[in-house]
Amino acid sequence: MEKNRDNTQKCEFLLKLNNNIVCQRYFTVRNFKSKAVNSLDLHETVSWIMQDLMEDLKYKTCNLLDSNYVDNIKNKGLETTPEHFSITIKVGTKEVYARIMRADIYPPKVRFSVDIRPQLNRILKELTQVLSLEKVTCNYQDYSLNVW
């Protein structure tokens, strides 16, 4: 029996709105590098994913808005409870990266109908590439990002 020489790791991508799962996908990273977990490269990749989600929500909000909706907002005031989207990256069962953004700034019809399936293949491909990079940036100014 031949040994599996590459370091394969099961990972998870999780997008939530408050405590409700919007999208959860498991993916496998071949040649997983543990240094990549605490790298600036992973941070930039997740930032790009979050920025892409915000642009999509902004676009859908602009399409939804009309004069009637704006008048309803003025009459209601901002009485909404704070809501947020969160992106979590897990390696095995350990949460290694989490990022949040406000969701209550988008209309309910937009934030409750988020669909990232068209971008999902690209997102998982980017995460897989970053988590398997041999050389990653693990220093920011004079600080080391590797804590374990």
Where is pLDDT greater, at 1 or 74?
74
pTM of the model: 0.78
Q: Give buried/exposed letters for 89-125 (b at 16+ CB in 10 A, else e).
A: bbbeeeebbeeeeebeebbeebbeebebeeeeeebbe
Provide the 8-state DSSP code for 134.
S
Q: What confidence tens digit (pLDDT) does each residue in 76-129 have? A: 555 567 899 999 999 989 999 999 999 988 888 888 888 898 999 999 999 999
